[in-house]
Amino acid sequence: MNQEEFKKAMLEGIPEKLPSVKPYETSVSHAPKRKNVLTLEEKKLAIKNALRYFPESFHAILAPEFLEELEKYGRIYMYRFRPDYEMHARPIDEYPAKLKQTASIMLMIQNNLDPAVAQHPHELITYGGNGAVFQNWAQYRLTMKYLAEMTNNQTLVMYSGHPLGLFPSHPDAPRVVVTNGMMIPNYSSRDEYEKFNALGVTQYGQMTAGSYMYIGPQGIVHGTTITLLNAARLHSQGGIAGQLFVSSGMGGMSGAQTKAAVIAGLVAVVAEINPQALKKRHQQGWVDEVYSDLNELIQRIQQAQKNKEAVSMGYQGNIVDLWEKLAEKNIRVDLGSDQTSLHNPFAGGYYPAGLSLEESNKLMATNPELFKKKVHESLKRQVAAINQLTKKGMYFWDYGNAFLLEASRAGAEILAPGGEFRYPSYVQDIMGPLFFDYGFGPFRWVCTSGKAEDLQKTDEIAAMVLKELADAAPAEIQQQMNDNVHWIREAEKNKLVVGSQARILYADCNGRTLIAKAFNEAIRKGKISAPVVLGRDHHDVSGTDSPYRETSNIYDGSALTADMAVQNFAGDSFRGATWVSLHNGGGVGWGEVINGGFGLTIDGSADAERRLTNMLHWDVNNGIARRSWARNKPARFAIERAMQVTPELKVTLANEADENLLDNLFE
């Protein structure tokens, strides 16, 4: 397809002529069949909902086709309407849009659905087993048409993948406002998600899937690297070299673990049951060696430990078998975690021991209750093996995937005598007190030219800015700054790019703002050849309220509230964001978290500098202020420092109560 044909296809929307049926491509990783949860009347409603995207003349052909998809796959994806062009991020000038801002969003959407990036691209799922960009291909087609046609006085409204339409607004408004999975609270259970998603009225946007901000496994690799570095520094004996890290998952986010471990200097072993996922990561250079025989793997682990290698190994098999073999052979494991998609344990997020991948995919659809029982049995075995190894000195943590939560629901021995979890969340021990409370989080950017040389230039600029900040940084954040300088200097060498020309960098408010200003100036002077999209993971200082992950180190009783994330979404929208998003679910699961994000396209203009200065300041300091109010001392330090720099910032500070006074009240 040539460039003109591509532009015509992007502008087509719903085609006037019914396209031919697409073959089901077995070379692509597909979502497992979802369980049948709809009644007969609800199935009729699901098909009726799907048909409303199309003229009545198509209905007689599409209705039985959509019923077949619903029965066969558990959802209506509208495979027939999958575009003929290749799905990947193109240079921004190749998109037929009236605005650079909207062209940049089109680029980001296509990157989220790139087969090299997405977990199940034909089902429009980017990562996490069910983290969707859209519910069906009609929504994709309409959205791209709207983005191409819209002006600076319109805003596109997105309801859980559905493009509600273009509405009059103004140039300072976001070009797109996204919500995903926003439910009445009493109807936000896991079973209700299955029902309403099958009906085609809501979706699970994960974090950066439904907000068009995913940049492949690189998006989490810096955070994973600093987590592993600091876990080793704080909880293991001796130097980092030769220490063994064991975990699971080679999917969208979990695929970062092996690369991060090697960057940190560890021996890493990560299990993955899906051979296609493991093959993809091996081909992309994100895992060094692959094994399917546990005895061979054990021998290689012992060799790597002895030689103190920095090496990653993928085990194609079940994580429970790996943990049990390590315990049986008395292998010294220093660090352990889990990144199975346990936010979605019964629909492809967790594969129980004793069943193959194919057997699990069949059982979860045909006998969901038996599959649930198998998952619970498997979690009990997994926790038992982990408990054996922690008694021998392994430091284990929950990686924010609901492992502890689901293991406790399974009846595993995961609770301490006082009723709390035996093991911490990584945010409680590491990410919260060392990073989020100080305002450090996963800042990211994408070079819309698609040129590697532009990305290299941004790396150089970011390294220069950070080095100047590190030289003047207070002692409280000196280690964090030095680690970040080292990270960005080594980023190109570590070959992190999968999909768009993007970079991840943990930075605080000062760092994000000064780096963004320097990028904007470089675009203005032509040193960077095209606009740059700024963003972040929702897994950040302010973006997410999640009591089992991002806000697990909030101890004032407010961890179950969601004001911070909602306020962040609202505040970003009128401070300059190009697009904003707010999601139910993400990381730990539907109904367990509220999170939001943004995209901000900078083009070298004075207006772009105004926007980025206003928006980035709020986007970070909102969360620091909330964490300070929760009496987190690092956040108190950070917000007082921010108020000194910005006189307009005036934050309510907490007064400490005397513990003896409180204790005496109840004697």
Which residues carry a binding-site annotation for NAD(+)?
Answer: 128-129, 206, 272, 399, 587
Half-sphere exposure in the Cβ direction for 560 (13 Å, CA) = 3
Q: For residues 517 and 513, give the distance between their C-alpha atoms in angstroms, rounded to a whole number.
A: 6
Q: For residues 168 and 170, give the distance between their C-alpha atoms in angstroms, rounded to a whole number.
A: 7
Quickly list DSSP for 201-264.
S----TTTTTTT--BTBHHHHHHHHHHHHHHHHHHSSS-STT-EEEEE--STTTTHHHHHHHHH
End-to-end CA gap in the chain: 79
Q: Taking a C-beta distance cutoff of 8 angstroms, is the pair 334, 244 a contact?
A: yes
Q: Taking a C-beta distance cutoff of 8 angstroms, is the pair 384, 412 a contact?
A: yes
**Three-class SS state of 177:** strand
Helix-, strand-, coil-residue percentages of the chain, each rounded to 5: 45, 15, 40
**Count of C-beta atoms within a 10 Å radius of residue 200:** 27
Q: For residues 432 and 554, give the distance between their C-alpha atoms in angstroms, rounded to a whole number.
A: 9
Beta bridge partners of 545: 594
Q: Taking a C-beta distance cutoff of 8 angstroms, is the pair 134, 81 a contact?
A: no
Q: Closest by alpha carbon to 129, among 550, 599, 585? A: 585
What residues contact residue 352 under an 8 Å CB cut-off, 6+ apart?
318, 320, 360, 371, 374, 375, 377, 378
Q: For residues 646 and 231, give the distance between their C-alpha atoms in angstroms, rounded to a whole number.
A: 34
Question: Which one-letter DSSP state was computed for residue 430?
Answer: I
**Three-class SS state of 525:** coil
**Feature table: binding site:** 128-129, 206, 272, 399, 587
Question: Which one-letter DSSP state was computed for residue 339?
Answer: -
C-alpha distance from residue 500 to each of 194, 280, 331, 364, 577 (Å): 32, 17, 40, 34, 20
